[in-house]
Structures are given as structure tokens and as C-alpha cells.
Structure 1
Amino acid sequence: MLCRRTLGVHAVAAIAATGAAALTLSVPPGEAAASVRLSAPQRPAVLTAGNGDVLSSEPGVFYLDPLKAIKVNASVHRIMYRTTDRTGKGIAVTGTVLNPATSPYGQRPIVAFAPGTQGLADKCAPSRQLAEGTEYEAAPIKKLLDQGYAVVVTDYQGLGTPGVHTYMDREAQGRAVLDSVRAAQRLPALDLPDAGPVALYGYSQGGGATASAAELAPAYAPELKLKGAVVGAPPADMNKVADSMDGSAYGAFFNYALSGLSTSYGIDIGPYLNAHGKRVTNDLRDNLCTTQALAKYPFPNSRFLTVDGRPLTERLKRAPWDRIVAEQQLGKRKPAVPVLLSHSALDDVVPQRVGKNLAADWCRRGVTVRFAGNHIPGHIAATVGTIADGLPWLKDRFAGKAAPSTC
């Protein structure tokens, strides 16, 4: 069983804090009266030793609309916690823990919700957008809360913390999801079960992060009592997804991936880009969240962004990118829990064959997989299919029922 961690004066000393507040480090009653305000992006000067340790927290709020007229009835805390990046280096990331006002469960389950594509700029972090009523995945989060589950939402590496968000980095995303559960369990303010039942849920980027977390969990977080993972439209094969995406209405996501992976692997993509390409890439990285990016740069083709006029997808097939892309491949490791994989045949971002191939890879490794296909038109609209299939499937996993298989 995990031990609860409280935040003391040693944690106050570990935080570097300047400027306007984004998170408050609150010290528990009985300890030195102190409070440190954290600018965002900001990082602790020193990290604690344990992955999932809570570095700071403050009360938050969850609105369903930008007018802030509809407030969700839940206890909300914004947190900063420790995880590790692709290389195993300790880093601080932010997130949100939400606990519903009522629940039918004595031992309340925790669902780690891995967000879909938000953008790269710090203002796009889900912890900020939940508070502003602008989070486009508010509906599935609310539906999970309505089931009586506590929900923890990671911001991933680089969203709300220093550096560029390492978008599409398989290991960094999966670790951030798993450590968000540990952080939720260790947050004294909510008193969630230290060793209670846990599940994973995500769509699109979140589907990939959830799949990665499920694959990494047996070695990285074996103490978590995982019951299952809901994986929606996972970008499991970057080569196939990139070829489909470049020049499409969602071409900005391909640019996000280049920025995120180049940051993670220390590659300067500036020499690949012409002046227009640099302006677009910088704008997408620093200023625009998903809906803004799709509106401002519809159907961007990477060949118009490069110095040599060749699409950036060609570079993915040459060193060092061929190795980098191969390292993001999902399906090479075995989750130890059942998986529901939901994917529309009419997905216009991640082709359904990518999800089917992932399901088949897991089936060959002995995983209990239910592939739930649908014909909902469009990547964004098909999120409702994942919700419709995922909620009853999760309920059965928490009830201890045998998981169905389509293998």
C-alpha cells in the first residue's frame, strides 16, 4: 500500500517561485505557516524522490462553459507532481484531481483521464482550460464524475511547466498518466484510497497516452490496482498517421508532433524550415490551442513549410527520425489488464486500420481486447462512440466482471 505524503517546510524550500500565481503550495495544519505562489510555467528547484509525489496543490474549479455559468459539483484540486521524462530524468508536471460530491462506491475508483490534443502553448493546459470552461473534453470528464469515479487529468510534460510539450512522446505521456494516479492517491486534501481500483481512459492523443500507460504499468507502476483501459482512436503508428494527416484539415497536429518529438530528442528542426515554416511552427508552439490552430491553419501541407519543398513526412523515413518514429510504436509491449479499443471506420485523422492493428498486436500477446468499431463520421464526433462503449465497460471492470474479448 502506498503511504500518504504530506507537504512540509522541506517542500516549501524545494520550490522556486516568482511572479504571478498559478498554483499555491499549501502547508498542512500544524506545520510552519507558509504559502508559496508558483508562476506558470514554473518548476521546483529540487524534486522529491518519488514518482507521483505531490509538489504543490491548490483548490480549483471545473466549469462546463466559458461563461462560467455551469459549475461541476466536485472537489477540484490543481496539482504539481513528479514524473519522469523519456530519458528517466525527474520532472515536474501539472494536472487536476476531481472528486465527485457523491459516489455509490465505498472505495472510490480513480480514473486517469489522458487528454486529447490540446496544443503546445502553456495556456492550453487542461488544468487551465477546465477552470476557464474552455476544455473541449469536459463532457467525458463530467460523465466519468457522474459515475462516481474520482478523475485525475494530467497536463503532460511541458503544458503549464517549462519547455515545449513533448507531444506524441510515448514514454513521457504514459509515465505522466501513471504518476497522475499516484499523485491523486497521495493528495491529502481529497483522501482518496491509497490502493483502490484504478482505470485509464483517453481518446486521440489521450488514446495513445492511455495505451502507453497500460503497456508501461507492469514495470513502471506495478502497485497500481489497474482494472482496465479505455483506448479511443490511438495514433499507434506514427508513419501511417503522419501520411494521413499532412495536408489534411488536421495538419497542425503533424506540426505539433514534430515540435514535441524534436524537443524530446534534442533535434533542431529550424534548418528544415523556410521563413514561412518557422513562423507557422512558432505560432503553433507558442500561441494557439487546438481549435484556434485548426481554424488559422486549415489544410497545411508541410512541403510549403520546408526549405527544399519536400514534405516533412519524407524525413520521418530517414535517420534519425526513422528511429524516433519507431520508438513511439504501440503494440510492442503487453498490457496486464483488459482493454477496450474504440475506433470509427470514418475517422479522418487516425485511420481505423491503425487501431485495428494495435488491437491485433495486443491480441497476439495474450491481452484481453474488445475492439469496438463504429461508423460515426469524423475524428472529433467519434469521441461519443468511445464514451458510449467505454462507460458501461468500465463499470463492469470495477464490478469485477469478466472482460469480453474480440480477439
Structure 2
Amino acid sequence: MSLTHPEILSEKRNLLAQCLKKAAVSKNGAVRKVLLAGAGVAALAFGVPQAAFAQADLPKTIPEGLKLEAAQALPITPFYTEAPSADAPTWPGGLIRAEKVTDYAIPAGMTAWRILYHSLDAERHDVVTSGFVLLPAGPAPAGGWPVVAWAHGTSGVAQPCAPSLMKDLYYGDEGLFEFPKAGLAVVATDYHGQGTPGAHQYMNKLAQGYDVIYSVAAAHAALPGVLSKQWVADGHSQGGMASWSVGEMEQQMKNPDYLGTVSVSGTVDMLDFIAPTPEEVGAPFYFPMVAYGLKARYPDFDVHSILTKDGYEHYPLIATKGCWFTGYAAYLGKTSAQIMKPNWTKVPAVQAMLKEDIMGDKPVKGPLMVLTGGGDVSVPPGGVKKTAQKACKNGIKLFFHLYPGLDHDPTMINSTQDQIAWIKDRFAGKPFEQNCGGF
């Protein structure tokens, strides 16, 4: 699978390919963005992977992490920071500006646009959010390209960590390009505070859900007649919670053009994600990002109330500059106990977040597909399955599938063709088959 033009091949892939060590189903708990370039996406048909993916060492130092991120970074231009013009719309979904992009490493024939639009935060305050639109090759069909509203997984919490500010769009080599190849347009929010000024309300299902929903309206305004009115939400990890949240929100909004949601390895059980059992391993380097998200959501919250001295040591870097690779390297070897203070989950702001992020209780509009990997040690599959079972008991009809042995990112990559097939069935109006009671 050719993902990039030769002249802009990702430095991170070249570096990581040199230190290739082990096969794709990892048990180290923090595999991300390090799949060897050139591996194909296997069509699983809900079975065992038909192709092996290779993984390599992650950065061991902060400078290494920053170097990998710099290799993909694009500058934060006035597109992201200039105030809207006086005549720009101000309602949620209102398009502020759009521009065609030529500096992304995307497959030949595809075209990309940046968008800047109004959205809402968790308290329904106006925020400005950025994102991108990725179009398939060739002319749009009658009625426009079917739309997948994409919600990305954790990229970081700082402004430079927006996927639209990365040459590979962050998920380019993790299945994202497969959607346009299959004739589906991608409308991808960055989430506000990434790309745009302001604080990113990390791991808040309301804030991220609004950003996804209103990106679709903005994309239609940017590209009139190019995109179908009908759309499906899809997301991985942090985005898996966001996309499920979209289904909940659409139950209230009752948008007839919304057709359903795919949630892949979603953080739909937040307590299981931030305080996993020892057997589930977990990834402690996410915790300072969670602290940042709490501060963004609850301004009176003091991050020192949950972060130890070691936990806070690199917090300013993560809050302002470093993204996923840097966060991983900064806390490499640190345990949850070293980063988080005892009883930190009892802090009022944490309790408020856990309550606000509850999934599986509220009805959703349209079909829901929930996928997870049996070897996922970043977002434990037990929590995902438990939430899906709870949803079924609450009358939410969904399709659930667990891919045996797959870790966090390999689940996204290896399930992409299954996602696409399911999504195309929604656009084709085929009946939805749920399997509640069967897992």
C-alpha cells in the first residue's frame, strides 16, 4: 500500500523501520503510530488477521519524541489563529474559512481541504475548531461523496497536536486512506484546542461529540454539492468515545441524514482506561493528558491534586508543545503510582468527569458497531465489552466484535475493511443486524 509521495516520505517511518524488532500483536501497552510503512490492510471478515504488521521501538527520550513529531509537523499558520471575518457565520457548524491543501502526504488522486468552523465545548460555549476533508480521486458521484465523520484517537493535548497539522494526517497509515480509496469522503475534526487556540477538553465525550457533528455542516458549506448529505460517524480510541457520543447526541437532534456510528477501541469505560487493573496493564503516560483535560473542562481544578512530582515534571511540555511520541518518552518506565497521587480518582473533578463520560446508558440514534481488540492493553477490551453489554441491557441495539489478540492500533488497521463494508451497508439502506445477547 503506497501511502506517501517519495519526496515527502515520513522520517519517522524511515527511522522506525531501521529498528524493527517484533510482530504486530504487541503486549507492551503503548504501541502507536509505529507500524512499518508498506504493510497492507487485511480484510478480516471478523476473523483472524490475514496479514502481519511490523512494529518498532518507540522513542526512549524526549528529544527523540520531539524529533519524530517535527518530521511530520506543519506550521500553525494564520488560517488557524486569525479572528473570523465580520461576516462569517457564528452558529455551531458555521464555516469560518476553508483552503485547499497541497502539503499533506496523501495518495495520488485524493484531494484535501482544511476547514475552520464554530463548534461547542462541553458546556455549550462557542469554540473555534479546525479539521480537514479528504476526498476520493475522481469526480463526485451524483448526490456527492458519502461522508464518514472521523474522530481521531489521542494525538496529544497541545495546539500543535492537531492531525490537520501533520503531513500524514496522523492516521494516514492506520487505515484512514482506505476510506477515500473505497469512495468515502472523510470529514475529520481536530477537536477544539488542537490547531486552534484554547484548551482541548481531552476525553470529554460532549466536547468531542459536538466537534464531530458540526464538522459535517462546515464541510458541506466548504464544498457545496461535493459531499452527500448523508453521513456516518467513525472513531478510534478517544474518537471511539466521541463517535458513540455522536449517536447519543443525534438521538436528541434527530438529524435524518445521520445513519449510524462505528466505535473502535473506544474509551467508553473511562475508569477502566485511566485506572486499569494490573492484569490490564494500561498506559500511564496518558494520565498527565487526562489531568490537562480536567483542567480544560473544570478551570478551578488543580492538576497538582492528582499528579505527583514525577507526574508533573513534564506536564508543562505536554500541555504546550509535545504530542503523543513526546508524552510516551517523557513518562517511559513510570508506573501509575509514580505519576498519580493515591486516591486521585476520588477528587471531585475526576468524579465529575467519570459521571459526564458514562457510556451505554443513553439511547443512540441509528445502528451502532462496537469493535475492540482482545490484546489491547491501552484501552482494555473488558471495559469496552462490559459497556456494550450494558448498552444492550438498556435497549441499545448494537453489533459487537472482538478481534482476538490484537492490540490497540492493530485493531484499527486490521478492522478497516470491516468498518468500510458496514458503513457502505448503511448508505445502501441495508438492514442492520445486531448481536446483543450473543457476546
Structure 1 length-normalised TM:
0.81
Aligned 1:214-293 pairs, distance under 5 A: 214-220=247-253, 222-223=254-255, 225-244=257-276, 250-266=283-299, 267-293=301-327
> Measured at CA, do residues 356 and 394 of structure 1 come closer, stay the same or move farther in structure 2, by a change above 3 Å?
same
In 1, Cα distance between equivalents of 2:265 and 2:236: 6
Aligned 1:201-220 pairs, distance under 5 A: 201-220=234-253
| Structure 1 spans left out of the alignment, 5+ residues | 1-19, 24-36, 65-69
Letter matched to residue 181 of structure 1: V
In 2, Cα distance between equivalents of 1:214 and 1:61: 33
1:185-227 CA distance string (max 9 Å, x none):
121x45334x62200111111111111111111224x335112
In 1, Cα distance between equivalents of 2:191 and 2:421: 27
1:300 to 334, 340, 351: 334
What's the C-alpha RMSD, in Å, of the aligned pairs?
2.6
Partner of residue 346, structure 2: 317
Find out whether 1:147 has 2:182 as its counterpart.
yes
Structure number with the bigger relative contact order (C-alpha 8 A, sep ≥ 6) is: 2
In 2, Cα distance between equivalents of 1:103 and 1:112: 20
Matched-pair contact (CA < 8 Å) for 1:245–1:251? no
Aligned-residue offset at 1:304? 2.6
1:321-343 CA distance string (max 9 Å, x none):
21221111111211111111111
Aligned-residue offset at 1:45? 8.2
> Measured at CA, do residues 297 and 276 of structure 1 come closer, stay the same or move farther in structure 2, by a change above 3 Å?
closer
Matched-pair contact (CA < 8 Å) for 1:61–1:71? no
Match of 1:285, SS state, is: helix
Find out whether 1:82 has 2:82 as its counterpart.
no
1:333-390 CA distance string (max 9 Å, x none):
1111111111112111111122112222332333331101111332122212331321
> Measured at CA, do residues 52 and 203 of structure 1 come closer, stay the same or move farther in structure 2, by a change above 3 Å?
same
Aligned-residue offset at 1:103? 6.7
Aligned-residue offset at 1:97? 1.2
Partner of residue 96, structure 1: 132
> Measured at CA, do residues 332 and 393 of structure 1 come closer, stay the same or move farther in structure 2, by a change above 3 Å?
same
2:377 to 327, 345, 348: 348
Letter matched to residue 242 of structure 1: I
Aligned-residue offset at 1:398? 1.1
Query: For this pair of structures, how many residues does the alignment match?
Result: 359
Partner of residue 111, structure 1: 148
Find out whether 1:333 has 2:367 as its counterpart.
no
In 1, Cα distance between equivalents of 2:277 and 2:256: 35
1:175 to 210, 224, 227: 210
Partner of residue 89, structure 2: 48
| Structure 2 spans left out of the alignment, 5+ residues | 1-73
> Measured at CA, do residues 386 and 245 of structure 1 come closer, stay the same or move farther in structure 2, by a change above 3 Å?
farther
In 1, Cα distance between equivalents of 2:244 and 2:426: 17
More displaced stretch, 262-271 vs 49-58: 262-271
> Measured at CA, do residues 90 and 118 of structure 1 come closer, stay the same or move farther in structure 2, by a change above 3 Å?
same
> Measured at CA, do residues 191 and 322 of structure 1 come closer, stay the same or move farther in structure 2, by a change above 3 Å?
same
Find out whether 1:363 has 2:392 as its counterpart.
yes
In 2, Cα distance between equivalents of 1:146 and 1:62: 19
Structure 2 length-normalised TM:
0.75
Aligned 1:150-165 pairs, distance under 5 A: 150-165=185-200
Aligned-residue offset at 1:320? 3.6
Letter matched to residue 338 of structure 2: F
Aligned-residue offset at 1:260? 0.9
In 2, Cα distance between equivalents of 1:186 and 1:120: 28
In 2, Cα distance between equivalents of 1:273 and 1:345: 30
Matched-pair contact (CA < 8 Å) for 2:294–2:349? no
In 1, Cα distance between equivalents of 2:196 and 2:276: 31
Matched-pair contact (CA < 8 Å) for 1:210–1:230? yes
Aligned-residue offset at 1:271? 4.9
Match of 2:326, SS state, is: helix
Aligned 1:26-65 pairs, distance under 5 A: 37-38=78-79, 40-41=80-81, 44=84, 48-61=89-102, 63-64=104-105
1:149-181 CA distance string (max 9 Å, x none):
111110102101112321101100000000011
Aligned-residue offset at 1:397? 1.2
1:52-101 CA distance string (max 9 Å, x none):
1101111113644xxxxx64422211111011111111111000012212
Match of 1:175, SS state, is: helix
Matched-pair contact (CA < 8 Å) for 1:250–1:299? no
Matched-pair contact (CA < 8 Å) for 1:85–1:172? yes
More displaced stretch, 377-386 vs 332-341: 377-386
Partner of residue 13, structure 1: none
Aligned-residue offset at 1:405? 1.0
More displaced stretch, 285-294 vs 268-277: 268-277
2:160 to 123, 141, 159: 123
Partner of residue 66, structure 2: none
Matched-pair contact (CA < 8 Å) for 1:249–1:300? no
In 2, Cα distance between equivalents of 1:216 and 1:63: 32
Matched-pair contact (CA < 8 Å) for 1:346–1:376? yes
Give me the identity figure in percent.
27
Partner of residue 411, structure 2: 382
> Measured at CA, do residues 304 and 21 of structure 1 come closer, stay the same or move farther in structure 2, by a change above 3 Å?
closer
In 2, Cα distance between equivalents of 1:105 and 1:362: 37
Matched-pair contact (CA < 8 Å) for 1:336–1:367? no
> Measured at CA, do residues 43 and 172 of structure 1 come closer, stay the same or move farther in structure 2, by a change above 3 Å?
farther
> Measured at CA, do residues 272 and 390 of structure 1 come closer, stay the same or move farther in structure 2, by a change above 3 Å?
closer
1:296-338 CA distance string (max 9 Å, x none):
32243343346xxx34xx2223424212211111112111111
Matched-pair contact (CA < 8 Å) for 1:376–1:382? no
Matched-pair contact (CA < 8 Å) for 1:53–1:182? yes
